[in-house]
Structure 1
Amino acid sequence: MPDLTTDETAIAAATAGDEHAFGRLTERYRHELHVHCYRMLGNFEDAEDVVQETLVRAWRARDRFAGTGFRAWLYKIATNAGLDVIRRRRRLVEKADSFAEVPWLQPYPDRLLDQAAPADGEPDAVVVARETIELAFLAAIQLLPAQQRAILILRDVADWSAKQTAELLDTTVAGVNSALQRARTTLRTRLPTRDEHTAGEPTEVERALLDRYIDAHQRGDAVGLTELVRDDIRITMPPRPWVYDGIPSIAPLLQAAFGGTLGDWLLVPTSANRQLAAANYLRAPDDEVYRAFKLDVFRFEAGQIAEITTFDNTLFDAFGLPQTMEKA
């Protein structure tokens, strides 16, 4: 990945100890570093922590910057900080047949993906590429050992050369190529039908389907909702280890949601990981406002909802969503 042209004066001031200059310079790269770390970790909050750790490490090591590319230097620090997290928390799964097996998985707001352009302001296809940010891809790469995961992301996602990757990870070109081949083999095994999970921009049909889903959900229409989903619909709820496959299996969920004891629903369309999503608000029977409850991320197949991944309300602020709402 070629380094961006940056102001040499700003770099000199930042690495000489000017804290304000350092902050202004590193802020240019914060968003893209966050996406990079998120891809490695599959967790939005952990990515934030790693970016912060990256900036702390960079500040402490500023006098050792060799002047060979400030952006690449930050990526090296961020990648190694991410590897530390993976190894320390032992976040590696043996299989990823469903998102339930990746309990740390979190969604990424599309509105922040759109802010993650590099410092020259040009659109960055690497940062926003759908096929490298969708939940299926993120879950699959959690199968990879830490070093393989970093190499796959740097080579196949960030488009670094084998030489650049080897320098960043303090290894050899031969080692990079070998690890990349093993990582690609694992992904081909886990995502043999990857194209089915990467359908491009949401279609008007899919957007209309989401609107119908929201309408049925808000009206408590379980029958109408089941007409929108495939017979083999799958619902998972990371970090909970639950998997619901098929319409009969989700009947208890619908009964709990629409039975009247929880309250009334209000859903707001949004998007995460380049997939359509809906923020769910719930107004309890004794409450006057709707409160943030959960976030559903959808995958569609052949004009129906094929999969719903449900997350809690932890990241509503990151999605630019309020914690409470009133129904118009």
Structure 2
Amino acid sequence: MSADTRPEELGVSDLGEMDEPAFSRLAERHRRELHVHCYRMLGSFEDAEDTVQETFLRAWRRRETFEGRSTLRAWLYRIATNACLDLLAKSRPKPATGGEVPWLQPYPDRLLDELPAGDADEPETVAVARETVELAYLVAVQHLAPRPRAALILRDVLGWPAKNVAELLGDSVNSVNSALQRARAGMREHLPAERQDWTGGDEDAATRALVRRYTDASVATDIDGLAALLREDVRCSMPPTPGLYVGRDAVVKDWVESGFERMKGLRPVLTGVNRQPAVAFYLWQQREGAYLPLTIDVLRITGGTITEIITFHDDRFPRLGLPDSLPADGTE
């Protein structure tokens, strides 16, 4: 059965005839893609989870309003988008500023793998789906006001016609097109200049080798070795901790001042986050006799150098499916 199943294909004329278990089974087929949509809108994995739950609750309560003029999938996207806009109006009336997104959270690749496969005959669509979950995109889109943000994601990521976006937002097509122009201009301001040169696709041997060098230098707390891997204009941040460091010298200075060179006893675990290479670091704790979660570094690599490092705290380990400790012998 296709992702765009209509109720009549299940032998019912409308959703109002369905009981709650049947409705839940139908809606659940769209959970992962709705979650990723809300994640793009909100930048927070946990807020996206809450919003998807709110979406399903609203959909169940309003099921009799579904008239079948669109697919169930499109109807759920409408509800999810409005739920996101409601949350943003309530808890984040202002977008991000200054290149920082304190509420940014990572999204594990293992869950992104649950998304419906892209059409192999449309590589551009597959590339868009991939690039628009990378952290640089998430950071940029969080700098947009909520309604232009919604217009951008619906038009440029999901490919909705302007008429449908206007109907959802309660605006005219001209207003939507104007908002979209402003949103695209805002994205150009905040996206990396070399966006078209992002690694993209599966990691090649050179990328894997660079990640290994970064990992080895980190375990050795070799700041000079790490500095050699960074591009001159590298960016480094650690949400929700305030602070954005731009430039190799500024990043290295922060590492030195934070006492990174004295941090011995690290053990790495390679993983994938937001379709980018990532390294989870564990730190040896004598009292527990084990390596315990420390931080996760998510890397953006361009042209053979590291152009951005976004570090997340140890509270993200469970969401990413990482072990809660590593034993002394290194086995899990």
Q: Which TM-score band (shorter chain)?
A: 0.7 to 0.9
Query: Could you report, residue by residue, the CA deviation over 1:126-167 in whole angstroms, capped at 9, with x for unpaired residues?
Result: 697222122121111122211111011000110000112122
For residues 240 and 296 of structure 1, the distance between their equivalents in structure 2, rounded to whole angstroms, comes to 14
Q: Distance in 2 between matches of 1:11 and 1:31?
A: 25
1:279-318 matches, within 5 Å, as 279-318=280-319
Q: CA deviation at 1:9?
A: 4.9
Give the aligned residue type for 2:150. A
Task: Give 2:152's aligned amino acid.
Answer: L
- Tell me how large the CA RMSD over aligned residues is: 2.6
Aligned to 2:64: 63
Q: Is contact 2:5–2:72 with CA below 8 Å preserved after alignment?
A: no
The answer for the alignment partner of 1:83 in structure 2 is 85
Residue aligning to 1:161: 161
Give yes or no for contact 1:277–1:298 (8 Å, CA) kept in 2. Answer: yes
Change (3 A) 1:131 1:226: same
User: Which residue identity does 1:199 align to in structure 2?
Assistant: T
Residue by residue over 1:61-115, the C-alpha shift from the partner in whole angstroms, topping out at 9 and shown as x without a partner, is 112221222111111110000001111112533634x3xx211111111121110
What does residue 104 of structure 1 align with? 103
CA distance in 2: counterparts of 1:30 and 1:241, whole angstroms:
32
From the superposition, tell whether residues 184 and 91 of structure 1 become closer, same or farther in structure 2 (CA, over 3 Å): same
Deviates more, 1:279-288 or 1:57-66: 279-288
C-alpha separation in 1, matches of 2:104 and 2:93: 11
Partners of 1:11 and 1:22 within 8 A in 2 = no
User: Partners of 1:46 and 1:248 in 2: how far apart?
Assistant: 32
User: Residue 191 of structure 1 aligns with which residue?
Assistant: 191
Assess, with a 3 A threshold, how the Cα gap between structure 1 residues 276 and 94 changes in structure 2: closer, same or farther.
closer
The TM-score normalised by the length of structure 2 is 0.87
Alignment partner, residue 93 of structure 1: 95
Q: TM-score, normalised by structure 1?
A: 0.88
Give the deviation of 1:249 after TM superposition.
4.3
User: Contact (CA 8 Å) 1:130, 1:198: kept in 2 or not?
Assistant: no
2:170 partner amino acid: D
Cross-structure match for 1:257: 260
Moved more, 121-130 or 190-199: 121-130
Alpha-carbon spacing, 1:194–1:180, altered in 2? closer, same or farther (3 Å): farther
Identity of aligned residues (%): 47
> Is the alpha carbon distance of 1:313 and 1:266 closer, same or farther for their aligned partners in structure 2, counting shifts above 3 Å?
same
For residues 250 and 193 of structure 2, what CA distance do their matches in structure 1 show? Answer: 26
Kindly provide the amino acid, as one letter, of the partner of residue 55 in structure 1.
F
Correspondence list, 1:1-328, <5 A? 4-6=4-6, 8-10=8-10, 12=12, 15-68=16-69, 69-93=71-95, 95-96=97-98, 98=99, 101-117=100-116, 125=125, 129-191=129-191, 193-195=193-195, 198-201=198-201, 202-244=203-245, 245-247=247-249, 249-253=251-255, 256-260=259-263, 263-326=264-327, 327-328=330-331
Q: Is the 8 A contact 1:236 1:309 kept in 2?
A: yes
Question: In terms of mean alpha carbon deviation, does 170-179 or 207-216 score higher?
Answer: 170-179
How much has 1:27 moved relative to structure 2?
A: 0.9
Q: Is the 8 A contact 1:14 1:25 kept in 2?
A: no
Where in structure 2 are there 5+ consecutive unaligned residues? none
Deviation at 1:15, TM superposition (A): 3.3
Number of residue pairs aligned between Structure 1 and Structure 2 = 320
User: 8 Å contact 1:216–1:222 — kept in the other structure?
Assistant: yes
Displacement of 1:251 after TM fit? 4.4
Amino acid at match of 1:185: A
**Residue identity opposite 1:116 in structure 2:** L
When residues 251 and 39 of structure 1 are mapped into structure 2, their CA distance, relative to the original with a 3 A threshold, is same
Change (3 A) 1:91 1:275: farther
- 2: CA distance, partners of 1:136 / 1:173: 29
Give, in angstroms, the shift of residue 313 of structure 1. Answer: 2.3
Measured against aligned partners, the alpha-carbon deviations of 1:199-257 in whole angstroms (never above 9, x if no partner) come to 32333111111112212222333333333223443321111112234246434525623
Query: How far apart, in 2, do the equivalents of 1:138 and 1:162 lie?
Result: 22
Does the CA-based 8 Å contact 1:83-1:146 persist in structure 2?
yes
More divergent stretch after superposition (248-257 vs 74-83): 248-257
